[in-house]
Chain A
Amino acid sequence: MGIRVLKGGMLTTVQDLGRTGYQSQGFSVAGVMDVRSFKIANLLLDNPENEAVLEFTLIGPTLEFTSATIIAITGGDFQPTINGDPAPMYTAIYVNKGDILKFGSARTGSRGYVAFSSYLEIPVVMGSRCTNMKSSLGGFKGRKLQAGDYMNFRIKRRYLPFFLSRRLELDEFDQMDVELRVVMGPQDDMFSKQGIDTFLNSEYTVTSEFDRMGCRLEGPFIAPKEKSDIISDGIAFGAIQVPSHGKPIVLLSDRQTTGGYAKIATVASVDIPKLVQRKTDHKIRFRAISVQEAQRLYLEEIKELDDMRRKIHQPCREVLECRLVAKRLRTLFE
């Protein structure tokens, strides 16, 4: 009743929205990098919003199902196959006992997600099922998955209403350059006007130092007024630190709770998925928006997700047409 890991891929972990409420004690939040893809995977299966999924990075895992369930795959295109046949993404799919779900390397994007209608049996540690690798906490034994690992499902759930309607448009991840909208602050006043101009008008390149903790960017030097050290304070998801080397570092899911470098700005929540789906050498530009605008975008996305939820709960048009045809045929036979 579950899944067996045949290949772990590069970095596959159990994640949800993260372990909040313990940052004041030094616990990183962890949780998924691409919140949007995560939410879509769960909503395709009517799962609770915060149900745990598998997140994989650059090279996906190979999984064997030891019981039937329904899954949804979202995020970057890892060329998924089930028993060798291409599997659709952003769609609810039945899998049978013995089926093998295989992910390749990321053709687009860099992170993928798979959600399960039968829910992974992973203990809740301090309010979350997510994996905090640094502290070996939560998830599957506090670590990334590897060949031989086995996870049970918590429930049997192999039926979902409006099954054929459960498919959505794919998000695009094939851009080589993206614009990230940012809210300036909290320490933007520590940078010179020239430094701010450089930050907002230059192209930055994603380096290979890009993991779940953060993403280092290469590009023009962002000048501080004097120094860029601060007395350590808390760090939000998407905060952009600029240490004395003048190159921005965007802090992500596994970020440390506190840090001692000035934060020039913070990426708008809706744009964090665009960043975490980038690869080395992709280009980034920053554009400042107000906090009100960032919150408006955030609420807009919630509405968009609600619309998706409505859409997959309507009878599928093709099915309706079949019924119509059947009805007409029936009168003929009668």
Chain B
Amino acid sequence: MQNIRILTEGDSSLLVEFGKEISPEINRKIAATVKLLKEQHIEGIVDMIPTYCALLINYDPRVLSYAEIEERVRGLVKVETKAGTQRKRVFEIPVCYGGEYGPDIANIAEHAGLSEEEVIAIHSSRDYLIYMLGFLPGFTYLGGLDERIHTPRLANPRLKINAGSVGIGGSQTGIYPLDSPGGWQLMGMTPVRTYDPERETPILVEAGDYIRFVPIDEAEYRRIKDLVERGEYECVVREREV
């Protein structure tokens, strides 16, 4: 992969730019680099923020000078990851669509000129790549929403959207990890907590993982919600080849 640039972001961070477009290939390369860096346990690396097409590395200049970290990172990004042999993790997120759980599903259906059932079928028929997390703890930026159900945001954003709400905002879809204001069209609700500060891993997913929405009915929603509240629910994770 050419065009990788290593840039300074102050005296304690370095930005690795892998490209200037949103693409699964670039994002996969970043996820692979993060994995490599974690495996190497490089002393002095404090934190990493992988995004669509760049990776910000925070480091401690007491341990690593700019020249040292630049050289190590340059060596690492040269390592080609073999495409095709990679496996992806797909998190199955159960969603109760429509009704009081998804008050805007009619808007989405009307905008798309489809029935609500068709909207649900389209939304739950593919694996969405998590390009990055940001904005709120555990908020996922997902790629790959079917163009047929792209829907403009609400003209008047809601002051409060409940945690677990699943919605569409323009060409994006995602899950609200905690109560928050927002303008997305809400189509359903998951009983799964994608963010739980009390859990050992507060955030379920990582950049580079995939999410698949699985339609459930109200009874199943309540059953899973009960399990979640008792701390007994384990999210279904499937491994597939990329």
Quick check: A268 and B11 within 8 Å, CB to CB? yes
Q: Which residues of A contact B61 (CB under 8 A)?
A: 269, 295, 298-299
* Set A20, A26, A184: member contacting B138, Cβ < 8 A: A26
Q: Which residues of A contact B62 (CB under 8 A)?
A: 298-299, 302
- 1/0 per position for A235-250, CB-CB distance to B under 8 A? 1111100000000000
Is B217 interfacial (CB 8 A cutoff)?
no
Interface size bucket, B side? 35 or more
Instruction: Given A26-B203, A231-B52, verify A269-B10 contact (CB < 8 Å).
Output: yes
Interface 9-mer from B12-20, B95-103, B225-233: B12-20
Q: Are A232 and B58 in contact (CB under 8 A)?
A: no
- Overall SS of chain A's interface: mixed
Cβ-closest chain A residue relative to B50: A24
Q: Contact at A239–B9, with CB atoms within 8 Å? A: yes
List of A residues within 8 angstroms of B50 by Cβ: 24, 234
Of all chain A residues, the one with the shortest Cβ separation from B52 is: A231
Q: Is the pair A236, B139 in contact by a Cβ cutoff of 8 Å?
A: no
Interface string of A1-38 (1 = CB under 8 A from B): 00000000000000000001111111101000000000
Q: Least Cβ distance of A134 to chain B in Å?
A: 8
Verify B58–A26 contact, CB threshold 8 A: no
Name the distance in Å between A290's Cβ and chain B's nearest Cβ.
9
What sequence of 0s and 1s flags, for each residue 85-101 of chain A, a beta carbon within 8 Å of any chain B beta carbon?
Answer: 00000000000000000
The interface bits of chain B over 36-63 (1 if a CB of A lies within 8 angstroms of the residue's CB, else 0) are 0000000000111111111110100110
B132 and A236 contacting across the interface, CB-CB below 8 Å? no
Give the nearest-CB partner of A263 in chain B: B9
- Complex Cα gap A239–B49 (Å): 14
Asked if A222 is at the interface (CB within 8 A of a chain B CB), the reply is no
Contact A258 B10, beta carbon cutoff 8 Å: no
| Contact partners of A235 in chain B: CB under 8 A | 49, 56
Which residue of A is nearest B198, CB measured?
A125
B203 touching A25 by the CB < 8 A rule?
A: yes
Interface size class of A (residues with CB under 8 A): 35 or more
Q: How far apart are A23's CB and chain B's nearest CB, in angstroms?
A: 5
Beta-carbon contacts under 8 Å, B128-155 to A: 132-139, 141
- Cβ B47 vs Cβ A21 within 8 A: yes
Known: A234-B56, A239-B10. A25 touches B133 (CB 8 A): yes
Please indicate the chain B residues that have their CB under 8 angstroms from the CB of A257 in the complex: 49, 134
12 contacts between A and B (CB under 8 A): A22-B47, A25-B138, A183-B11, A186-B15, A235-B49, A237-B10, A237-B12, A257-B134, A258-B132, A292-B67, A295-B61, A298-B62
User: Footprint of B on A, CB under 8 Å?
Assistant: 20-27, 29, 125-126, 135, 137, 183-187, 231-239, 256-258, 263, 266-269, 291-292, 294-295, 297-299, 302
Across the A-B interface, give the 10 residue pairs with the lowest CB-CB distance, nearest first: A234-B56, A266-B10, A234-B49, A186-B7, A294-B11, A236-B13, A258-B134, A25-B203, A233-B54, A186-B15
Given A186-B17, A234-B50, A291-B66, 10 other A-B residues pairs in contact with their CB atoms under 8 A? A20-B46, A24-B207, A186-B7, A187-B7, A234-B9, A237-B12, A267-B10, A269-B12, A295-B11, A298-B12
